[in-house]
Chains A and B, each alone.
Chain A
């Protein structure tokens, strides 16, 4: 410390304008850019034979989605997320509205209505719903912080998430429904809900699983479509039915395993000869494993780990509770999707059709993930701004 002047304070910086720089988290941005680059690289190898005469069909589109996503991310990071809290009812209505809209005018893809064709890409409302749910649910939570200990608060928040979750499961999009529940759990958890409530919720979840997978089919009521049940349980015994449900798991394991330490590069026959299903979307991690081996898979996982670490750090930095809850929701969304998707490709999780954030091909998923990261950047920037302002105040 410099020698104190006679007044005992310093006036240095008092007249300096607040530095008008973006207070972004550079590591979070780096992880996002790195993952988008990985996605383009992997898609380039995996999809060059998929559409005859257009070897770069998927790469070009994914690059466009990525660019748009980064622009959206940067725009969102400059806004103060806190203002969204006031529009919580509108956000929630928008979410339900877009999900319901899909039932009306959605395009059917492989037996399920999930998306609305808006020309440039198929808009998947269940993807956008993840982000809207985080924003709305966090806002509702903040409103009820005083009554945090009440069971009513917990059940309200849960019901608010359960309603859209049921809607998307009926599309049917089981994966997104589960993501909604993960988000709700995270928001409750970060807000500080009592452990006893979580214990009750856990018991309830186990009961629901038993009811849906065991009890209901026994009574002749199919809550889930039979193929969904098969997919959920196939990973437990992949060799039972190698031609049907176990097929995807087996082909994925073969792809990942055959990659070895350093990958097969152009010789990645599981991908190139189409043995690996959905290799540009749900099973893109298997492609990473086959083409680039353990080294490539480890690199991608490291980028994801970086993403999670930065998200959790931003959670702790947030200037207000709303920011912390949003960060918690985003972290849960990312974690759930990463582990369920990667776990599925390596045979330790059921097949639920959850995309791998930023890596899986698809406009909705990429844009929504980028926007979520944009919110994190906004929380980060706001926290820095506040800290800077405080530092200034303290200096005064």
Chain B
């Protein structure tokens, strides 16, 4: 062993062994490190190379502006403006909860948003789309943005981004057509319809924006940038320019639309109208009152705004009464009753019936409106003066004839009680009352009595349980006017590029064809023409002096329970080969001739370019 002198003349075997042991440990350690390096660098090099690139490359989505929507003359109805959105980038937010709350408080003061709400909004957005930036407020005014940018170090993680927002230059005009645009939902992303749409993209959520979203949405651009560990931009790697969506040309005529809504607004303020080409189903105007300014939907709508716009007390401005209304139609139904009776062989155009002012059936007396008695008359005259008794009799007879569903089946064929298939989502089918329907309700104790002939009598003149809307009436009237084509109304006309060059004509589904005898059709049209022109015609006074020959039918639907009657008018013009149908209703307008018919005249004047039409007020209270 060693001596105290610290002299160690030779290497002892024990030390040699221990040194060898240390060397062995080093050898093993080096081997482990080498194998680990081989595994990491040679075997997994590609995986880590990809990870490194993933680290440094960020793809920043550049939202594409949506296509514009223009009217039939190319005037913009919906276009885009750029807004500035304040966003928050989660990985640059302070990680500390307290400091983050402080940031939200500071930001809340500047933007006028409660910090708690801001926090909720950010958390919600990040839950659906982690690692992306979350929007705090869209469309922030420039001075506020400038303040944020000048004090950037006080607002870590807060960025400003340019976004495209929808703009509706005509405000209330046509609001119900366009619909809204909003961020795509998770459920929608699973739908084939939204192929190519990514999380965070904005798509049409209702109206035309929804219907033609496929064309209107553009192709997002992307810019691949290199960032450092702090997320600072270190140069752009590649850019793909965003591509704006296609332009959509509607068959809507802005002038007719505006005049129609203004005319409707002059009534009781709640109603709807439709102007449609009877030959091809192109909708020239379609409106509902009360209306709203869709610009509130351009950003995220406030909850209070939404409540205000859907409240029934305010007339639920968001609902589209032209396609979603569920109204009895009053005497405008008589065109359908007449068609059913003629085609069903109940009468001929010249079958004379006696109108003594009332009809008594099963202990109930059905009276003419205003108590008038029109005497002996055939179909034309009955339509012209709108004899209720004449049609009561038809209703009664059709309830007894065949399977008792003659009136219902013709109403259905003409498009009542079913969706018209217009290119606007949210349409309601309405209802044609039938024995089957009422008896079933009765069995379930949802109504007080089973079907009676009185129900059919009421249906024949558009009273009672019938539920329809101006669009369905327009389709039914157009079918008579065009000789049997049951059209699917169309609003979208064609897809164009930004310069207005046509890319694709939008085709309506083929119209259903009904076989209508020309002489029957002729008789009905003549009866309607008489109503708008002959002495005693229900709307003759309204159209006095109007240069375009009009055929039209008034309607006054009783709502019962002390509520004002609903006023209706459906016009076909020009007689005898109508080009357009105009259907108007005012929920509380009273007699058809009082309110709806003058509105129809105003609309027709605009439609046919009648200058300085003095209009006319009120006809006789004869239906």
Residues in A lying within 8 Å of B, measured CB to CB: 82, 85, 142, 145-146, 186, 189-190, 192, 243, 251, 253-261, 264, 269-270, 273-275, 289-290, 293-294, 297-298, 301, 305, 308-309, 312, 315-316, 318-322, 324, 328, 331-332, 335, 339, 342-343, 346-348
Contact = CB atoms under 8 A, between A and B. Distances in A.
B41 A256 contact: yes
Given A253-B40, A255-B48, A320-B7, 7 more contacts: A145-B4, A294-B37, A316-B19, A321-B7, A324-B8, A335-B26, A346-B36
A312 B41 contact: no
Interface stretch (B10-18, B320-328, B415-423, B491-499): B10-18
A312 B19 contact: yes
B2 A253 contact: no
Contacts of A298: 34, 37
Given A145-B4, A273-B226, A190 B49 contact: no
Nearest to A276: B229
25 contacts: A145-B2, A189-B18, A192-B15, A253-B48, A256-B40, A257-B45, A258-B49, A260-B41, A260-B49, A261-B45, A264-B49, A273-B229, A273-B234, A274-B228, A289-B40, A294-B42, A297-B37, A301-B30, A301-B37, A309-B23, A312-B19, A316-B15, A318-B8, A328-B22, A335-B22
| A interface SS class | helix
Contact of B18 (A190, A318, A339): A190
- Candidate in B4, B18, B37, B44 with the most chain A CB atoms within 10 angstroms: B37
B6 interface: yes
Interface string B20-50: 0011011001101110111011101111110
Given A312-B23, A331-B22, A335-B29, A273 B42 contact: no
Contacts of B38: 294
Contacts of B226: 269, 273
B24 to A, nearest CB: 11
B409 interface: no
B22 A312 contact: yes
Contacts, number: 137
Contacts of B95: 243
A118 B93 CA distance: 38
Interface of B: 2, 4, 6-8, 11, 14-16, 18-19, 22-23, 25-26, 29-30, 32-34, 36-38, 40-42, 44-49, 51-53, 55-56, 95, 226-230, 234
Leading 9 A-B pairs by shortest Cβ distance: A257-B48, A260-B45, A258-B52, A273-B228, A274-B229, A294-B41, A258-B48, A257-B40, A258-B49
B29 to A, nearest CB: 5
A173 B172 CA distance: 71
Contacts of A258: 45, 48-49, 51-52
B56 A273 contact: yes
A251 B229 CA distance: 10
Nearest to A259: B41
B229 A275 contact: yes
Contacts of A260: 41-42, 45-46, 49
Contacts of B26: 305, 308, 312, 335
A273 to B, nearest CB: 4
Contact of A259 (B36, B45, B234): B45
Contacts of B42: 260-261, 294
Nearest to A261: B42
A54 to B, nearest CB: 18
Nearest to A313: B19
A320 B56 contact: no
